Amino acid sequence: MKRTTLLFILFISSSILLRSNVVPSRYSISGSVGDESGNPLSGATIILEGTYLGTSSGLNGTFILRKIPEGIYNLKVSYLGYATVVKEIELWSDVTLDITLTPTSIVADEIIVKGVRASSETPVAFTELNSELIRKLNTGQDIPYLLSRVPSLVETSEAGTGIGYTNFRIRGTDPSRINVTIDGIPLNDAESQQVFWVDMPDLAGSVDDIQVQRGVGTSTNGAAAFGASVNLKTVNPSEEAYAEVSTSYGSFNTFKGSLKAGTGLLKEKFVMDIRISGLMSDGYIQRSGSSHRSLFMTSAYKLTKGRLKVNFIHGEEVTGISWWGVPADSLAANRTYNPAGKYVNSFGLLEHYHSQEDNYTQTHFQLIYNWQFNKNLYLNIAAHFTRGLGYYEQYREDDDLSDYGLSSWVYAGLIEIKSTDLVRRKWMFNYFGGMVYNLHYNKNRLEADLGGGFNRYLGDHFGRIIWMRHAGTTEKDFLWHTNGALKDDFNIFGKINFQMTEKLNLFTDLQYRYIYYSMNGDDDDLRELNLNKKYHFINPKAGLFYRFSARHEAYTSFSVANREPTRANFKDAAGDPAAMPRPECLLDLESGYRYKSALSNLGINLYYMIYKDQLVPTGELSNVGYPIMTNVEKSHRAGIELLAGIKPFRMLEWNASLTLSKNKIRDHTEYYTDYENFTGELFYLSKFLGDVDIAYSPSVIASNEFSVYPARNLAIHIISKYVGKQYFDNTASDLRKIDPYLVSNLRLDYSFSLKMIERIDLQLQVNNLLNNMYLSNGYGGYWYEDGEEHNWAYYFPQAGINYITRLTIRF
């Protein structure tokens, strides 16, 4: 509670600082934006670089930025279909200027993601990471760690280092409810509905910018956005030839090397970039090491009024299995202990199977076509295809033959063999392909999008036994189960952003989704997993955005989202019709206010998310690390998100965020069993708990970054993050919780250039600076015997103080 109070004081203090104008504002920049014929361009984006200020041109193309300290600035003006203009302004007095934009013969790169992104006048809460920030953050950790400072986000790593299997939650929402697209193309796995970042090593090395929308957000392609959506845009091939080499080394023998190169524009038509990366790490947790390789190629061909772009993304990963975590009773003695692959050898000694690994290869092909019909109408259409193939290998000790559909057999006519040690591989082989499109119209007061897509998934889950201690007549690579799946996902949406007055915008958005999902065959426990389901969802959204001035703006919106269960949800209910998961519905009300000046900003967002039949974690995991879920009839999340930033002078900058929330299940009844040892009877019981916290939903999340620029091209960043207490089941019991933690990192950035070398970047990052032995995730449960409660839990410890260094040279 003391920490929460301290955070409140910090934010109150920041608000006072924002209002007090540490450095007095003095001058204004005003003007108008128009085309070559003198017609005003309404809705042009105006940004004063190096400050927090930005605005849009009004109905008559005019704009004004007030109270700016004297100095030299770059004013950036952009408008879809027109070449961006950057003007250097010496601000020693009020400046007035007229800006003329010229049409470009090539569709602007932002049209690729225009249909699934929020603009500055969209009434939703969002955060953007630009290419410069991504470049500095990309030390080798996965995307969830690059997004660490996004408000309401909690990242976690199974290996404890941010490399390998990583994930994040936003507002307590798990990864299967967070929509992810790349260039508007769905990335979520169709069955689990989440993204496995480990399958795309060093993806950040080829990402130009990222937008994270919190809440339902705007309509997008692919999986439903139930708590957030993340849109990544790949790099645009450079029109200047270049080469870049980067290498990183750090704790736990972590190494990353990458090579980038670009052809530059050839014959004014064709351009291509390529990136090759390799990443290795031993991991903090025992036998959680990673060995990853990736290849990214992008090329573009200019057309008369458009462009054809091709992306090729290939990733290969071999990762030690660590998804079971560390047993609670091992934390004190050995917090890096990994129970995966444990067995007793023929001499009675404890060993671990060192090939207990996950192996997967994933390849994406994307063909993106942009066309400009005229200066107001644009088309973006993309075809995509993804192929995935891989397995994880396990040593199993003393498994029953009947678990694999095998009969017992008699050895030497004397001993009946009913069980044996074995090594098995569980395979997944899948194809995912389809088409997405967006038609964008922008003229005067109206901005409209018509978008959608159709995607098909074909997958096969199967298991093979590759070795048995007592095989009998069983052949090597015995196939003991197979389950095939088909999933179709169709959606269409329309969006309108209409400027009703000089200051007021109306936003409406309507989406229809159709899902067909079928499964046939047996699961790994030989239970039938047959399914045929169809879903029809209507998802409306509407909101208002009001700009009081270039400094002050407010918004409010109401959205509806519906979502189908995942494969794991259906699998957990197999054989029990009463446990069949139901689709979920979310009503999301959001309201916010933003203040921006040249030296400071402040954002406040209020949200109230009401769920019907929300699938919440029970606290337990399946045998492959998926959370086991159950529907609850009534639940909600309510919170406030605060963001603040200040630049009191050029050498110092402070940015912070704070989320305070309540995440509750209403009138919750917990069902459990009680085993009586004397009679061997099992009693099915329940207890009414009332309103309880939703699992994995901390009520406090805060982040803080101080940046100091003591010399030209030198930056020092001190980053801290606090995550409050989390329960990992829905009983609100302190016996099953993750303790709050505070972790701080230090990053030093230095850049310079030499003759014949465009840029040299040096970086040192020290993670967990204070060596906090914290746990970022966990799971577990309880059982009753003779009326007495017993608990079990596994946790995911994170590494103590560790470092990573990086050198990047660009020619």
Alpha-carbon distance of 82 to 480, in angstroms, equals 60
Pairing state of beta strands 652-675 and 775-785?
parallel
What is the CB neighbour count within 10 angstroms for residue 141? 27
Residue 179 lies in a domain: no
What is the CB neighbour count within 10 angstroms for residue 423? 18
Helix/strand/coil (H/E/C) assignment for every residue in 546-569? EECCCCEEEEEEEEEEEECCCHHH
Closest to 168 measured CA to CA, from 635, 590, 701: 701
221 touches 233 (CB < 8 A): no
Alpha-carbon distance of 546 to 48, in angstroms, equals 21
29 touches 91 (CB < 8 A): yes
The phi, psi pair for 6, rounded to 5°, reads -60, -40
Would you state the pLDDT for residue 105? Answer: 54
Closest to 681 measured CA to CA, from 673, 670, 693: 673
Closest to 725 measured CA to CA, from 703, 704, 696: 696
Residue 144 lies in a domain: no
Alpha-carbon distance of 145 to 703, in angstroms, equals 13
* DSSP 3-state percent helix, strand, coil across the chain (nearest 5): 10, 60, 30
Instruction: Check residue 481 and report its DSSP letter.
Output: E
* Encoded tokens for 67: 């109270």
Helix/strand/coil (H/E/C) assignment for every residue in 82-143? ECCEEEEEEECCCEEEEEECCECCCCCHHHHCHHHCCCCCCCCEEEEECHHHHHHHCCCCCH
Residue 560 lies in a domain: yes
DSSP 12-66: HHHHHHHHHTSS---EEEEEEEE-TTS-B-TT-EEEETTSS-EEE--TTSEEEEE
Closest to 626 measured CA to CA, from 282, 324, 317: 324
Residue 651 lies in a domain: yes
302 touches 269 (CB < 8 A): yes
Give the chain's radius of gyration (CA, Å).
28
Helix, coil or strand: residue 10: helix
Q: What is the CATH number of the domain that holds 578?
A: 2.40.170.20
Residue that is written with structure tokens 């940015």 in the block: 655
Sequence-distant (≥ 6) Cβ neighbours of residue 20 within 8 angstroms: none
Residue 202 lies in a domain: no
Would you state the pLDDT for residue 3? Answer: 52
**How is the beta sheet containing 45-48 ordered, strand by strand?**
54-56, 45-48, 71-78, 85-91
Residue 640 lies in a domain: yes
Residues spanned by the domain of 39: 1-104
Would you state the pLDDT for residue 674? Answer: 87
The phi, psi pair for 19, rounded to 5°, reads -80, -25
Closest to 361 measured CA to CA, from 228, 200, 518: 200
Q: What is the mean pLDDT of the chain?
A: 90
Alpha-carbon distance of 422 to 468, in angstroms, equals 4
Residue that is written with structure tokens 């080394």 in the block: 249
494 touches 512 (CB < 8 A): no
Would you state the pLDDT for residue 375? Answer: 82
Closest to 233 measured CA to CA, from 188, 187, 183: 183
Residue 51 lies in a domain: yes
Alpha-carbon distance of 521 to 305, in angstroms, equals 50
The total domain count for the chain is 2
Chain centre distance of CA 513:
22
Q: How many CA within 13 A on the CB side of residue 268?
A: 3
Helix/strand/coil (H/E/C) assignment for every residue in 425-464? EEEEEEEEEEEEEEEEEEECCEEEEEEEEEEEEEEEEEEE
81 touches 375 (CB < 8 A): yes
170 touches 229 (CB < 8 A): no
Alpha-carbon distance of 775 to 764, in angstroms, equals 24
Q: What is the CATH number of the domain that holds 86?
A: 2.60.40.1120
Would you state the pLDDT for residue 751? Answer: 94
Alpha-carbon distance of 776 to 175, in angstroms, equals 15
- Out of 56, 86, 104, a domain closes at 104
Q: How far is CA 613 from CA 581, 746, 775, in A?
A: 9, 43, 30
448 touches 495 (CB < 8 A): yes
Alpha-carbon distance of 550 to 159, in angstroms, equals 46
Residues of the chain with pLDDT under 70: 1-25, 104-109, 619-627
Closest to 774 measured CA to CA, from 807, 709, 726: 726
Pairing state of beta strands 415-417 and 419-443?
unpaired
What is the CB neighbour count within 10 angstroms for residue 289? 22
The phi, psi pair for 684, rounded to 5°, reads -95, 115
Would you state the pLDDT for residue 482? Answer: 96
**Strand ranges, E, within 183-225:** 185-186, 207-214
Closest to 76 measured CA to CA, from 16, 130, 136: 130
- How many helices and strands (H and E) does the chain possess? 4, 46
Residue 130 lies in a domain: no
Residue that is written with structure tokens 């002050």 in the block: 552
**Residue type at 220 in one-letter notation:** T
pTM metric for this prediction: 0.90
Would you state the pLDDT for residue 14? Answer: 47
- Out of 104, 128, 147, a domain closes at 104
The reply to whether 452 and 600 lie within a common domain is: yes
Helix, coil or strand: residue 575: coil
Would you state the pLDDT for residue 47? Answer: 83
- Out of 74, 104, 134, a domain closes at 104
